[in-house]
Chain A
Amino acid sequence: MTPDTIYGMTGIAVFAIGLAGALCAQDRLRRMLALKLCSVGAGFLLVVAAWRRPPDVPDPVPHALVITGIVVMVSATAVALALIRRLQTLEAEDAD
């Protein structure tokens, strides 16, 4: 077991946990957090890809990809949270 295998396996495991959460969770916020976890897992895997070649010179491309992925996920989370809040307000109005 080299460190990069452990790291990669962790990434896959984190992704799997997130996936299970996204599919099974009932609560809206919880599902969103599970999706965030998925994205972290995918990010792990890309970071491992940077180590794949001789370890003293990490490959910069996956790092760029991870940063892009993080930016995308931040915006997606923002939109989802806004929707969750809006839906909560609408449902509260209906309940009154």
Chain B
Amino acid sequence: MPIDPLILSLFAPLFGAVAAFLFPRAAAVIGLLAVVSICAAVPALAREVLAAGAVSVALGGWAPPLGISLRADGLSVAMLSMTAAVGLLVSCGALDALRDARQRQYFWPLWLLLLTGMNGVYLSTDIFNLYVMIEVIALAAVGLTVLSGTREAVRAGLEYMYASILGALLFLMGVGFVYLQIGRLDFAGLIAAEPSGAMSAGLALMLVGLLLKSALFPLHFWLPDAHANATAPASALLSGLVVKAALYIFLRLITQMPMPDEVLITLIGALGAGAVIWGGVQALRAERLKLLVAWSTVVQIGLIFIAFARAGQGGLSESWKAAALLVLAHGVAKAGMFLAAGRIKDEVGHDIIRDLDRSPMRPTLAQFSFALAAISLIGLPPSLGFIGKWSLMEGAMAAGYWHWVAVTMIGTLMSVAYFSRVLAGFLRFDRVRAPVVEHQGWALADMAPLVLAVSAVSLGLLAAPILSFLELGYPFGATP
């Protein structure tokens, strides 16, 4: 009997994580096998979704509302494939980047558990399941944050832990409210629910929990330190993938439930604008390369929330798709950028931005990858980031919401400014005392950031098929 790709993508990493923990010597092999098997399952799933629109499986034959059912539509498959592809490349990078034996031993089980949680989120159809999955993600993500074992990393990891648990508990409280009100937890029950005060309170609690987990300004306080102090592959996973899970749940919930009122939507947009401005200022002030990249994540999350607000105001599936596109683009580009930053730090020996141009060592491939990823994050054509930003601004302009256009443009200009600080450091040679040594040949670790950065830019050319794929199974509630 062939294994259902839905079930494979959930259980391969789970069993892989256990096996990798039990057999630390074979951890890397087991980890790669699990990730590769998911990379094989996702295209199979995509084919099914292309044929049928949406596929679902009731685990163990128990139908909802009591049982747990898994469902995949265009949006979930897009997120699954982004996660699988980014995960595979980061895994390849990790083979080379993790030098310490202890780090190698614990990286694989944690990363596979993280993958289980992520895939679980993308396939879940009920809110309690989502709660369990975000806790799985949180525990694995905290483990990855503190993997380097330095004092800063452990301190940042603990802050992250508090924020994560609090976010999840707010979510759980919201789940309690919803269950008290309608006695159901599945999305179908949520859509059918009568709007009421307790329902709104429950949904509001869940959304606040998710805002905390996705680090929207001013709840971003835990993110920069946690992402900047982790080892490079862990940073790439945390910034590229982990925050996406919370964003995805936010997107799902907000499209499944009755549209929240205008004030709330404007508030979310305003917080997004705050993230874009404040994150931009902090990125301009950051002294270390990885910290700058982490602040740029805060900015990008703000931008995605502006897209959510824009979509909520218009109630248009086009804008939801712009938001989803921005999520995908950021995942690919940011993972590439963090890996590249890690390579630069390894080769140069430090990541102080001011001194980058003094270094005689120039890891050219990593610098090139960093620049390409920056192109996508700034939003220059033809990158995926450009398409996302463009459809966001196009929609805002057409609807006459000029303030969102202004904020997006300011954010873009600031991102040009802060990435230029780094790029100027790469390109200036006049302050080097010793002869410049370019990194000779290329290491396996250079391949992962390069492929990620190149695909972040070139996926923009495939934007049309991606957009139409996102629509399969009508994840945005727009029935024909």
Can you list, as one digit per residue, whether each of B153-171 has a CB less than 8 Å from chain A (1) or not (0)? 0110110011001101100
Residues of A within 8 A of B172 (CB): 39, 42, 69
For the complex, what is the distance from the CA of A75 to the CA of B175, rounded to whole Å? 20
Contact in complex: A72, B135 (CB < 8 Å): yes
Q: Which of A25-62 contact B (CB under 8 A)?
A: 28, 31-32, 35, 38-39, 41-42, 45-46, 48-49, 52-53, 59, 61-62
For the complex, what is the distance from the CA of A22 to the CA of B268, rounded to whole Å? 24
The residue from A32, A48, A83 contacting B180, defined by CB atoms under 8 A apart:
A48
Distance to closest chain B CB from A11 (angstroms): 8
Residue in chain A with minimal CB distance to B129: A68
Contact in complex: A52, B165 (CB < 8 Å): no
- Is A13's beta carbon under 8 Å from chain B? no
For the complex, what is the distance from the CA of A6 to the CA of B173, rounded to whole Å? 17
Distance to closest chain B CB from A63 (angstroms): 12
- Is B177's beta carbon under 8 Å from chain A? yes
Distance to closest chain B CB from A79 (angstroms): 6
- Is B139's beta carbon under 8 Å from chain A? yes
For the complex, what is the distance from the CA of A79 to the CA of B143, rounded to whole Å? 8
Residues of B within 8 A of A79 (CB): 139, 142-143, 161
- Is B218's beta carbon under 8 Å from chain A? no
Contact in complex: A72, B132 (CB < 8 Å): yes
Contact in complex: A8, B158 (CB < 8 Å): no
Distance to closest chain B CB from A69 (angstroms): 6
Contact in complex: B161, A62 (CB < 8 Å): no
- Is A65's beta carbon under 8 Å from chain B? yes
How many of chain A's residues have a CB under 8 angstroms from any CB in B?
38
For the complex, what is the distance from the CA of A86 to the CA of B143, rounded to whole Å? 13
Contact in complex: B161, A61 (CB < 8 Å): no
Residues of B within 8 A of A24 (CB): none
- What does DSSP make chain B's interface, helix, strand, loop or mixed? helix
For the complex, what is the distance from the CA of A33 to the CA of B157, rounded to whole Å? 17
By size class, the interface of chain B is: 20 to 34
- What does DSSP make chain A's interface, helix, strand, loop or mixed? helix
**A39-B172, A42-B172, A83-B157 given as contacts; is B139 within 8 A of A75 (CB)?**
yes
For the complex, what is the distance from the CA of A19 to the CA of B172, rounded to whole Å? 13
**A8-B180, A79-B139, A83-B146 given as contacts; is B166 within 8 A of A38 (CB)?**
yes
- Is B128's beta carbon under 8 Å from chain A? yes
Contact in complex: A42, B169 (CB < 8 Å): yes
Distance to closest chain A CB from B214 (angstroms): 18
Distance to closest chain A CB from B213 (angstroms): 14
For the complex, what is the distance from the CA of A38 to the CA of B143, rounded to whole Å? 23
Residue in chain B with minimal CB distance to A90: B151
Can you list, as one digit per residue, whether each of B117-148 has a CB less than 8 Å from chain A (1) or not (0)? 00000000000100110010011001100100
Residues of B within 8 A of A69 (CB): 131, 172
For the complex with contacts A59-B183, A61-B65, A61-B66, 13 further pairs of A-B residues with Cβ separation under 8 Å are A22-B162, A31-B162, A38-B173, A39-B172, A46-B176, A49-B179, A49-B183, A65-B175, A72-B131, A79-B139, A80-B162, A83-B157, A86-B154
Report 21 cross-chain contacts, Cβ distance below 8 Å, ordered by A residue: A8-B180, A19-B166, A32-B162, A39-B172, A45-B177, A45-B180, A52-B183, A62-B179, A65-B179, A69-B172, A72-B135, A76-B139, A76-B161, A79-B142, A79-B161, A80-B158, A80-B165, A83-B157, A83-B158, A87-B158, A91-B151
